[in-house]
C-alpha cells in the first residue's frame, strides 16, 4: 500500500515539476532549468542526470513557447537566428564537459550562476 501511495505522490510531484518548468520557460525562456534541476535532485536524481533531464525537458517546452510567441507575433524568428550557431556550439561543449565535471563542482558552478544572474536582475538594468 505504501508503495502505491509513494508512486501516486511521485506522479503528482512530476506533474508539478513539469508545470513549474513550463511556466518558467514560457515567462523567462528556458528559465525552467533553474527550478527543474533542484527539484529533480530532490527526487533523488543524481546531479548530472538532473541537468541532462532538465535540458531534455526544456526542448519541447521551448518549441511550444516559441510557437505561441510566433502566433502572437511577439518576435520575428530572424531575430533569433544569429544566436543559433553559437548556441549549438555551446550546447555541444557543455554536454561534453558535463561528463567530466565532478558533481560537487557542478553544483557550485550552477549555484554561482544563479546568484550572479539574480544579482544582475535585481541591481542592474
Span 26-67, pLDDT tens digits = 777 666 677 788 888 888 889 889 888 888 888 888 888 888
CB 58 within 8 A of CB 19: no
The C-alpha atoms of residue 18 and residue 109 are separated, in whole angstroms, by 24
Domain count, the chain: 1
Distances (CA, A) of 52 to 47, 65, 75, 78, 103: 9, 20, 28, 28, 13
Indicate whether 117 belongs to any domain. Answer: yes
Question: 2 lies in a domain?
Answer: no
Instruction: Tell me the pLDDT tens digit for each residue of 64-109.
Output: 888 888 888 877 888 888 999 998 999 899 989 988 999 899 889 9
pTM equals 0.69
Q: Is residue 60 part of a domain?
A: yes
Supply the range of the domain harboring residue 71. 13-123
Amino acid at each position: 500500500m505504501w508503495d502505491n501511495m509513494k508512486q501516486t505522490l511521485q506522479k503528482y510531484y512530476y506533474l508539478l515539476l513539469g508545470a513549474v518548468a513550463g511556466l518558467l520557460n514560457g515567462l523567462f525562456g528556458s528559465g525552467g532549468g533553474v527550478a527543474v534541476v533542484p527539484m529533480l535532485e530532490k527526487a533523488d536524481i543524481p546531479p548530472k542526470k538532473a541537468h541532462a533531464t532538465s535540458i531534455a525537458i526544456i526542448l519541447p517546452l521551448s518549441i511550444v513557447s516559441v510557437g505561441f510567441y510566433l502566433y502572437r507575433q511577439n518576435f520575428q524568428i530572424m531575430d533569433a537566428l544569429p544566436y543559433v550557431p553559437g548556441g549549438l556550439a555551446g550546447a555541444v561543449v557543455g554536454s561534453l564537459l558535463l561528463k567530466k565535471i565532478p558533481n560537487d563542482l557542478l553544483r557550485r558552478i550552477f549555484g554561482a550562476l544563479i546568484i550572479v544572474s539574480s544579482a544582475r536582475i535585481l541591481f542592474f538594468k
